[in-house]
Structure 1
Amino acid sequence: MKKKLFLFIVMLNFISCARMSPEERYQSLIVSKESGKLKVVEEHLVYKRSKKNYVGRYVVNYDNGKVKSNAYYLEGKKEGKEEEFYENGKMKSERDFINGEKEGEEITYFLNGDIKSKTNYTANNKNGKEIIFSKGKESYIITNYLLGKKKGSEKEYKKGVLIRETEFINSLKNGKEIFYKNGNKIEKRNYKSGKLLSYEKVEYLNDNKKISYFKGNQLVTIEIYEKSRLIKKIPYKYNIKNGKGYEFKGSYPYEIIYSNGDILEKKELLKEANYNENIKFSGALPERKYVLITSNKAIPKKDAYKTSERLKEKVFWGEKYTYLGETKKFYKISCYGKTAYITKKYSILRRFDFNKMVSKLKELNKFIETSPKKSDIRIINHYINPTSKKNDQGERDSYGSRGEQAAIAYYIENKVEKFRYIHDRQYILITGKDEEKGTISFKLPGDNKVYKTLKNEVTKKNYGDPIKKAIIIDKKNQNQGVFEKVDGIWELVSYSYINSGRDNGEDSYKTPSGEYSIAYGVPFILFLSKEDDGNDIKANFGIRFSGGGYIHTIPYAKKQDSELKVELKTIIAEGEKKLGIYPTTHKCVRNPQDHGKFLYEWLGAKKIRNGRYRIPEENSIVISY
């Protein structure tokens, strides 16, 4: 019945069409224009005067006879699937229509058959997800649409890795646009209604990065990071350094004021301490932050910019002055009760970095307290008489250290075996034993490497008891802090300038870095004269912490102790002036006379061996870094 009805409609259409003029008849033909010629592909029957449109399949062919496009029309509107083809016969695109409007997924293809794009439509509008591929599918873009307008996130990928993401509202960029390279963000832009408001660029160098922030096209700030830690923030105005910035050196932040590209002022910001203060030393304490003069050429100026104006007073090498601030080229100091400026060329900034000292202490505490077994915390036992020829093992290790009073340990790095000297009384954590070879494996505080050394280089006694007292030596700043633990909190009880050891390649060594258990204290130390002339050197209040390394007071010739009392005071005073400047000792750590005595008494004595060697009454350590 349906078949008959369709034939009837076609016949009526044919009769009506036959009554049209030639011009009207020509307009009812579906044509293609190939090679500049009109070609009738298929004739559809229409009611032109009644404005009713054609019904049927619409096919366009290439000159070679192959189909170019294929669609079906219902009442003049596309209905169902439409297909387009390349001249070689391969599919070019395919889509669905309902009532003349695209509906559902549209797919387009490259000539080689790979998918070029996939787009979802609703009522002829892009709606939902669209994916556009490059040739070879090396890159592609995913865009979200809502009723023909981009909305939400658009993401671009290359070789499967995200390289861009952009936020849209009503097809206008709105929000963030971020660009990536090798998985790292390299640029971020902020838009509102299609207008660029600000952006930032990121540059990477190994573990460091630099972020430049722009407002419009004007640079406003640069931030520099070192291993994810912000170390510098520089403000800009009209692309020139201007305004308030920050710099983070070590444990302390600085505020820096810039003006027309130059540093106008630099001052330290207070940082919350990670310790309490309970000063027990009754003597004079040094400045906590000071400028050390490094040349007699240094001249104190009245102004950092009017450099021709000088103070009448002079400064000399090795002198220390209170730090008040700094500019790009000068330190601001207190000099003879006046404010002065000293060029950085002939001076350096020193400080007592107590926060860093306590951080070292906490790291060692954690190393001890988190060990699987208390009995696995030991120390290296390699004390040799300093006058012995076996004392120095000669060759430097991979850390540049000489093997004075140290065990040899081996470790693997990049599949290569290396050796390192581990100095006498260094804390270690035993991780394994090889009874057959007579070796032990161990780790050091703050170091994940596994070392091996001979079993007899390690104490049998364990050293896993909690630490109660500590002397922390800062070799770079040539000073020290003294701490004790009270109710679980570290308290600063004293601090002083020092001199640490200097490596001369012969009979003088750097004070070893590490964490050491204090062995004992003695009233004095004698350094025997090589000439055997009785002119031995004496230093009071010795505290042995590693091999022949002691903390002690200013040394002097023994005969001066009994014969030249007045001269002795002068010698000690001159020696104390040199503290806090540069390493000068053979290995030991020098202290002021009254401070050395304080340390000796502060450590106390749990017991005294042979009437001389005072064993500290509590577990006490020295950390040197």
Structure 2
Amino acid sequence: MMTRTVFILLISSLCTLSYCTPRTEPAQTEVLTPVDSISKDSAVIMETLPPHIEIEKELLYDKHTLEDTYPYKDTTREFQWEKMKERLSLLESIQKEPSQWAILQNYKNRNGEAPLVKVFKRDAYKRVSDTLGVERYQSVPLYLLTDTVTPEIYGRDGSLVRIKAMDEDSKFARIQTVYDGKEEWYAPKKYIKQIGDTVVFDKAIFVDRHNQNIATLEHVGSKWLVRSMNPATTGQHRPPYAQETPLGMYVLQEKKSRMIYLVDGSKETGGFAPYANRFTNGAYIHGVPVNAPRKSLIEYSPSLGTTPRSHMCVRNATSHAQFVYDWAPVNKTIVFVLE
């Protein structure tokens, strides 16, 4: 049965190396210490946002559904609707301006290892990151407009950007970020996947690291309709094999009906994760993992909605992962990871 509840936000001046490590297999793609940066830059980002965001519940998936607030051990967890509305406002706002959209891509360094940035950090496992904590592996080098010799920072795989200029005679494109401030950079063309100027981002997935839940929303008319509200678990800090699901805004990039994963530190098959939807690096939204030698699917795990426990991925009930797999198109769905 559909549940219908209306939430309205009137925004005035604004109140304010190892991931899920899949083997190479055919993927379904469309032909053609992190800071939650939207909070940090909200005063700038929100200047041009729509005056209100209306959210209404109209579920398409109604299994394992959570309430707006719900008990967890000796505390209460929630769906952070206000933070979601901020991000939906941003998503609506950036689409008001005609844009040539693109995705930063370097999954498994397929487009080449990014050069070292000017100032970097190296951890105990010899992994290099920039000053913002973005790891070199699987990332895209971003250069100042005044210096195309050495990159300044790394851009995360899966990040949505605008193309501001693309000179055929240059190996660089001038791009603009849309989530962590509207900064312009040069990025080598080989790391950029163009998705055109007609794409409409009307589906959004919200992954909440703090509350360990996930919500899917769809823009219909003037409203954002909630399609599902479910428990999830995100990535845990357990180097070198596991790390947190990175905060940010990403484009859903590919899907695999079964994502094969390996045993930590080896090339041995550990099992598979069903209905896997990749959005950044090796981070997938997927169903309950099935450890080898088992072959049959597992619908639910009591650990869902508790504490971070994956390598970077977002675990879901398997039927919810299948819902996301069927409902969310690649290159047209936005994934927000918030705290």
2:319 is aligned with 1:586: no
Residue 620 of structure 1, aligned match among 323, 333, 336: 333
Q: Distance in 2 between matches of 1:392 and 1:596?
A: 36
Give the corresponding residue for 2:189: 455
Q: Of 465, 468, 471, which residue of structure 1 is paired with 2:202? A: 468
1:288 aligns to 2:68 (yes or no): yes
- Cα distance change, pair 458–531 in 1 and its aligned pair in 2 (3 A): closer
Pairs within 5 Å for 1:257-272: none
Matched, 1:551 2:285: yes
Distance 2:249 2:243 in 1: 17
Normalising to structure 2: TM-score of the pair? 0.70
Distance in 1 of aligned mates of 2:307 and 2:134: 19
Instruction: State the distance in 2 between where 1:357 and 1:539 align.
Output: 27
- Where does residue 159 of structure 2 map in the other structure? 426
Match of 1:378 among 102, 115, 132: 102
Q: Give, in whole Å, the separation in 2 of the partners of 1:362 and 1:285.
A: 25
| Kept in 2: contact 1:384–1:391 (CA 8 A) | no
Higher relative contact order at CA 8 Å, sep ≥6: structure 1 or structure 2? Answer: 2
Match for residue 176 of structure 1? none
Q: Which moved more, 1:502-511 or 1:540-549?
A: 502-511
Quick check: 1:524–1:541 contact (8 Å CA) kept in 2? yes
Specify the structure having the higher radius of gyration (Cα). 1
- Cα 1:517–1:531 change in 2 (3 A) is closer
Evaluate the alpha carbon distance shift between residue 360 and residue 230 of structure 1 in structure 2; reply closer, same or farther with a 3 A threshold. Answer: closer
Output the CA distance in 2 between the equivalents of 1:520 and 1:281.
21
- Offset of 1:354 from its aligned partner? 2.6
Q: Which letter does structure 2 place at the counterpart of 1:526?
A: I
Alpha-carbon contact 2:252-2:331 (below 8 Å) kept: no
**2-side partners of 1:290 and 1:597: how far apart?**
24
Distance 1:392 1:561, change over 3 A: farther
Q: How do 1:513-552 residues align onto structure 2 when only pairs under 5 Å count?
A: 513-529=247-263, 530-533=265-268, 535-552=269-286
Distance 1:397 1:292, change over 3 A: farther
When normalised by structure 1's length, the TM-score is: 0.40
Partners in 1 of 2:137 and 2:292 — Cα distance?
26
For residues 429-455 of structure 1, what are the alpha-carbon distances to aligned partners after superposition, in whole Å with 9 as ceiling and x for unaligned?
Answer: 123456665222222224132222212
Go from structure 1 to structure 2 and tell me whether the alpha carbon gap of 1:436 and 1:600 turns closer, same or farther (over 3 Å shift).
Answer: closer
Q: Alignment partner of 1:275: what SS? A: strand
Could you tell me how far 1:361 is from its partner in structure 2? 2.4
Q: Which position in structure 1 is the counterpart of 2:93? A: 366
Q: Residues 195-214 of structure 1 correspond to what in structure 2 (within 5 A)? A: none
SS of 2:325's partner is helix
After superposition, give the CA deviation of every residue in 1:307-363 in whole Å (9 maximum; x if it has no partner): xxxxxxxxxxxxxxxxxxxxxxxxxxxxxxxxxxxxxxxx54421013421331231
* Secondary structure in structure 1 of the residue aligned to 2:54: coil
Equivalent-residue separation in structure 1 for 2:286 and 2:114 (angstroms): 21
Check conservation: 1:275, 1:490, Cα contact below 8 A: yes
**Are the equivalent residues in 2 in contact too, given 1:358–1:490 (CA < 8 A)?**
no
Q: Which amino acid aligns with 2:319?
A: D
Q: CA deviation at 1:473?
A: 1.4
Counterpart of 1:404 (choices 134, 137, 155) is 137
8 Å Cα contact 2:260-2:273 kept in structure 1: yes
CA distance in 2 between counterparts of 1:505 and 1:411 reads 31
Alpha-carbon deviations, 1:238-281, whole Å to 9, x = none?
xxxxxxxxxxxx9xxxxxxxxxxxxxxxxxxxxx9721211111
Gaps of 5+ in 1: 1-227, 232-249, 251-271, 294-346, 563-567, 604-615
Q: Equivalent of 2:295, from 558, 561, 571?
A: 561
> CA separation in 2, counterparts of 1:524 and 1:354?
32
In the alignment, residue 426 of structure 1 is paired with which amino acid? S
Letter in 1 for 2:67: E
The alpha-carbon distance between structure 1 residues 426 and 273, as it changes in their structure 2 partners (threshold 3 A), is: closer
- Structure 1's consecutive aligned runs of 4 or more residues displaced over 6 angstroms after TM superposition are 228-231
**Structure-2 change in CA distance of 1:582 and 1:443 (3 Å):** farther
Q: How does 1:91-490 map to 2 (within 5 A)?
A: 274-293=54-73, 347-371=74-98, 374=99, 376-384=100-108, 394-411=127-144, 419-433=152-166, 438-446=171-179, 447-462=181-196, 464-490=198-224
Q: Are the aligned partners of 2:64 and 2:231 in contact in 1 as well (CA < 8 Å)?
A: no
The two structures, once aligned, show a CA RMSD in angstroms of 3.4
SS of 1:586's equivalent? coil
Name the one with the larger strand percent.
1
Matched to 2:234, the amino acid is S
Separation (CA, whole Å) in 1 of partners of 2:312 and 2:201: 24
**Counterpart amino acid of 2:105?**
N
Instruction: Letter of the 1:381 partner, please give it.
Output: Q
Deviation at 1:578, TM superposition (A): 2.1
- Mark the CA change 1:381 to 1:462 in structure 2 (over 3 Å): closer, same or farther: farther
2:64–2:230 CA contact under 8 A, matched in 1: no
Look up the SS of the partner of 1:499 in the other structure.
Answer: coil
Question: Structure 1 residues 432 and 602 mapped into 2: Cα distance closer, same or farther (>3 Å)?
Answer: closer
- Please tell me whether the aligned partners of residues 380 and 459 of structure 1 are also in contact (alpha carbons under 8 angstroms): yes
1:461 and 1:618 map into 2 onto residues whose CA distance is: 7
Q: Distance in 2 between matches of 1:547 and 1:283?
A: 29
| Counterpart Cα distance in 1 of 2:175 and 2:75 | 39
1:114-151 per-position Cα deviation (integer Å, ceiling 9, x unaligned): xxxxxxxxxxxxxxxxxxxxxxxxxxxxxxxxxxxxxx
In structure 2, the residue corresponding to 1:492 is in which secondary structure?
A: strand
Q: Which residue of 1 aligns with 2:321?
A: 596
1 CA distance for matches of 2:114 and 2:262?
16
Aligned to 2:19: none
